[in-house]
Amino acid sequence: MTRYTDLIVEAANRLQDADVPNPDIDAWELFAFAFRMDKKEYLMRMSEEAKDEEGVARYAEAIDLRCKRIPLQHITGEQGFMGLTFHVNEDVLCPRQDTETLVEVALQRLLPGMHVLDLCTGSGCILISLLALAQDITGVGVDISEKALIVARENAWINRIDAEFLQGDLFAPVKGERFDMIVCNPPYIPSAVIPKLMPEVRDHEPRQALDGDRDGLAYYRKITAQAHKYLKRGGYLIFEIGIGQRDAVAQMLFMNGYRDMICYRDYSENERVMLGRLE
């Protein structure tokens, strides 16, 4: 007899043998996905025989994919972020908890009636979260990838949010508009570092959403040089940054007319968000 608990133990061992990070966590998450069972139900049924043949087959397939280092979120098709649920696939970066820091910083400064631009919007998780959690604001998300925007529009529909998503390179689709706040999680990984990333990221997430050119700073340079044309005086430019990029990004902001720069740390105490206010 194979019990539900036996399936999870066996799956965790397989994931560990495949060098998958956090094998116990992933074994549970994929179990919950395959059997559509929450923790409470599992604890009540863990010693039962696993008679759900479709669930067993679905779980085996999911574990096989995870052992090949397919991202967990690509297998389940979703990722939680800021208390909301987002659809994800290979066309967008999986929303990460680090990025919640950017959303939290932006929410502290958003007032009713403000208009927000989200550059490199990807899955739309930043803009949709802001529109869901702030009061009476409007927003536009821009991405160069039309495939990413298909995902973003779906996520707006899933979360019942009215958001506009436009295809184009950075500010090109919003010429003539002015915003109270610009937020951006740009590609910021140096090109030479990408081959060294975990397989889940290196092989299964879109490179154009990762690659920040030689030093990882190319998009910060482009955006800070142009953002003043699209930001109202006193408006905020808020970036997610990579580890070790604080000083370089702060200097770019200062040289382009921004003041009151503040760097915020994420939940792992890494410097993660840089804010500047346009004079």
State the pLDDT at residue 42: 86
Token pair recorded at residue 239: 């970036």
Residues with Cβ within 8 Å of 16's Cβ and at least 6 positions away in sequence, in order, are 23
State the pLDDT at residue 49: 84
State the pLDDT at residue 169: 95
State the pLDDT at residue 1: 73
The strand pair at 271-278 and 258-265 is best described as antiparallel
Find out whether 139 and 103 touch, Cβ atoms under 8 Å: no
Residues with Cβ within 8 Å of 43's Cβ and at least 6 positions away in sequence, in order, are none
Largest CA distance in the chain: 70
160 vs 13: CA distance, rounded Å: 40
What's the fold here for domain 78-278? Rossmann fold (3.40.50)
State the pLDDT at residue 180: 97
Q: How confident is the prediction along the chain (279 residues), in pLDDT tens digits per residue?
A: 789 898 999 999 999 999 999 999 999 999 999 999 898 998 988 888 888 889 999 999 999 999 999 999 999 999 999 999 999 999 999 999 999 999 999 999 999 999 999 999 999 999 999 999 999 999 999 999 999 999 999 999 999 999 999 999 999 999 999 999 999 999 999 999 999 988 989 988 888 888 888 899 999 999 999 999 999 999 999 999 999 999 999 999 999 999 999 999 999 999 999 999 998
State the pLDDT at residue 99: 96
194 vs 202: CA distance, rounded Å: 6
Find out whether 102 and 273 touch, Cβ atoms under 8 Å: yes
State the pLDDT at residue 52: 86
SS3 state of residue 71: coil
State the pLDDT at residue 78: 92
Q: Is the overall model pTM greater than 0.85, yes or no?
A: yes
